[in-house]
C-alpha cells in the first residue's frame, strides 16, 4: 500500500484515491475456533470463496483453531461459504423418548474475517447471516459481499452505531453511487 497523503488538502483533492488506499484489501483472511463432536462419522468443515474450496478438513472430537486465506482475483463480489459436510442419518444417538444423547456437530466459537470478530457481533450473525454460528446438519453459512469486506461489513453491522445511524445507513445500498455523490460534493466545494 502506498503511503497515505501527508496533508488534509492532498487528501481532499484526491479523495477517491485516498478511499482506495485505506480500503486496499487484497485477500480474505478467515480464522475460526471450533468445538467438534461426533457420534459415528467425523464431520468436515469447508470454506469456499466463489466456489473455490480454500479449506476442507475432517475433524474428530476436540477444540481446533484454523486459518485460511483467499487472494482476490479481480473480483468485485465474493460468495463466501463456511459449511459442514459428512454427517449421516446415524450420526445422532437418541433415547426412547427422542432425547439426543450424542450428536455430530461443529460449533464455531470464534469467527474472524479480515480481523473483524464476527462472533462478537450478535445482531450481524443472527440477522444478516441468519445463523447460530455452528452446524448440527450438513449446511453452510453464505456471506455475499462486495469487496472490500471491511467497508461492506462496517456498513452492514450495527456494532458501534447509535439509533440515529440507522436512518443514514439505509442510504448505503449502493456504495459506489454514494462514493460518486460524495466525490462530486467535494469537487463543488473546491470551486
Tens of pLDDT, residues 161-177 = 544 444 444 444 566 67
C-alpha distances in Å from residue 65, one per residue of 51, 101, 115 = 23, 26, 15
49: in domain: yes
Strands 52-58 and 44-49: antiparallel
β-partners of residue 63 are 35
C-alpha distances in Å from residue 92, one per residue of 82, 89, 97, 108 = 22, 7, 14, 19
Q: Within the chain, which residues score under 70 in pLDDT? A: 1-12, 14-24, 160-176, 178, 188-191
2: in domain: no
Cell 455452528: give the residue: 134
Predicted confidence at residue 128, as pLDDT, reads 81
Predicted confidence at residue 131, as pLDDT, reads 83
Predicted confidence at residue 152, as pLDDT, reads 86
The number of folded domains in the chain is 1
1: in domain: no
Domain range for 126 = 8-190
113: in domain: yes
Predicted confidence at residue 9, as pLDDT, reads 67
Cell 459428512: give the residue: 86
Amino acid at each position: 500500500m502506498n503511503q497515505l497523503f501527508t496533508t488534509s488538502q492532498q487528501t481532499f483533492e484526491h479523495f477517491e484515491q485516498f478511499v482506495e488506499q485505506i480500503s486496499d484489501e487484497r485477500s480474505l483472511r478467515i480464522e475460526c475456533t471450533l468445538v467438534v463432536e461426533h457420534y459415528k462419522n467425523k464431520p468436515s468443515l469447508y470454506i469456499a470463496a466463489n466456489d473455490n474450496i480454500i479449506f476442507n478438513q475432517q475433524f474428530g472430537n476436540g477444540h481446533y483453531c484454523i486459518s485460511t486465506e483467499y487472494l482476490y482475483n479481480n473480483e468485485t463480489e465474493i460468495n463466501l461459504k463456511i459449511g459442514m459436510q459428512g454427517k449421516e442419518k446415524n450420526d445422532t444417538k437418541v433415547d426412547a423418548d427422542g432425547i439426543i444423547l450424542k450428536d455430530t456437530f461443529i460449533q464455531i466459537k470464534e469467527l474472524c474475517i479480515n480481523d473483524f470478530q464476527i462472533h462478537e457481533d450478535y445482531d450481524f450473525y443472527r440477522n444478516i447471516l441468519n445463523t447460530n454460528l455452528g452446524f448440527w446438519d450438513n449446511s453452510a453459512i453464505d456471506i455475499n459481499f462486495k469487496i472490500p469486506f471491511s467497508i461492506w461489513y462496517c456498513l452492514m453491522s450495527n456494532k458501534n452505531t447509535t439509533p440515529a445511524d440507522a436512518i443514514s445507513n439505509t442510504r448505503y445500498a449502493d456504495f459506489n453511487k454514494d462514493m460518486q455523490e460524495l466525490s462530486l460534493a467535494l469537487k463543488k466545494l473546491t470551486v
